[in-house]
């Protein structure tokens, strides 16, 4: 029970990585607040946690709206009395070639994926300063380190999350708040399931472990960073990528990836 009694807030908690992390945190004793624009889906995850013996609430929040983010944090504190862990995980993507990428989609992706992370972390950190410490975890991406084609807004936002995480870690260390990022590669979520089969095949070929990751792979990394096991780790970006960053444009000796 590595998070026994700790209050955790997870944005993008209605599905994928957020859902898996909520379940993992609750199984380790955390009290979980799931924030998402899709309230019905978040409520379903909260019920699932309850059916497994945990405690969770679901709240609607648009992470790009400062007022809604502040209200989200205040409601978490009103319900549970404090906030120990913020997992700023909500994210979206828009795929288009750079020369054709709509300005509106550029602003939309940065609003959620970068500004939203900033707002959630700032609101959470202000509460944690009052309490004397806490944990902040952000969802970056291997796209923050690689120029993945057709995702200029997403890539720029995730690179920004990496540097935002470092800056927060430096400034918040004096308040006993650690700040770390997780950088997933291809994870089997709704975002990646929408890819054409040929695109999925090409992406798998670049991953030395030869498969897409699962949301649970990321959830376990978040659990580690939220726990006392990571008490002396801050300002770090942990790649959960099956070796993608290490391998680059990987291809197995026969032209296909090896299998784990």
Residue among 145, 154, 244, 250 flagged as catalytic:
154
Q: What is the C-alpha radius of gyration for the chain, rounded to an integer number of angstroms?
A: 18
Enter the DSSP assignment of 115: I
> Does residue 126 contact residue 76 with C-beta atoms inside 8 Å?
no
Q: Is 154 tagged catalytic?
A: yes
Enter the DSSP assignment of 111: I
> Does residue 76 contact residue 8 with C-beta atoms inside 8 Å?
no
Question: Which residues touch 163 (CB under 8 Å, ≥6 apart)?
Answer: none
Enter the DSSP assignment of 211: S
Enter the DSSP assignment of 187: B
Residues with a catalytic annotation lie at 154
């Amino acid at each position: 029970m590595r998070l026994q009694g700790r209050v955790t807030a997870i944005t993008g908690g209605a599905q994928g990585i957020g859902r898996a992390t909520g379940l993992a945190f609750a199984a380790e004793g955390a009290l979980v607040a799931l924030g998402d624009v899709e309230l019905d889906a978040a409520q379903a995850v909260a019920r699932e946690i309850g059916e497994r013996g945990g405690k969770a609430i679901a709240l609607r929040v648009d992470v790009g709206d400062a007022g809604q983010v502040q209200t989200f944090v205040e409601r978490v504190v009103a319900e549970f009395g404090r906030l120990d862990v913020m997992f700023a995980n909500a994210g979206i993507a828009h795929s288009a070639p750079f020369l054709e990428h709509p300005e509106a989609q550029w602003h939309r992706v940065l609003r959620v994926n970068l500004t939203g992370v900033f707002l959630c972390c700032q609101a959470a950190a202000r509460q944690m300063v009052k309490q004397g410490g806490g944990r902040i975890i952000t969802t970056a991406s291997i796209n923050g380190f690689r120029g993945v084609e057709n995702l200029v807004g997403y890539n720029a936002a995730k690179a920004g999350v990496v540097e935002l995480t470092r800056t927060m870690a430096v400034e918040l260390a004096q308040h006993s708040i650690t700040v770390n990022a997780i950088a997933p590669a291809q994870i089997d979520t709704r975002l990646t399931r929408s890819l054409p089969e040929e695109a999925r095949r090409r992406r798998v070929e670049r991953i030395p472990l030869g498969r897409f990751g699962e949301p649970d792979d990321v959830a376990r990394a978040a659990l580690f960073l939220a726990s006392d096991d990571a008490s002396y780790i801050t300002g770090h970006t942990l790649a959960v990528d099956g070796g993608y960053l290490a391998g680059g444009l990987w291809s197995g000796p026969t032209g296909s990836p090896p299998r784990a």
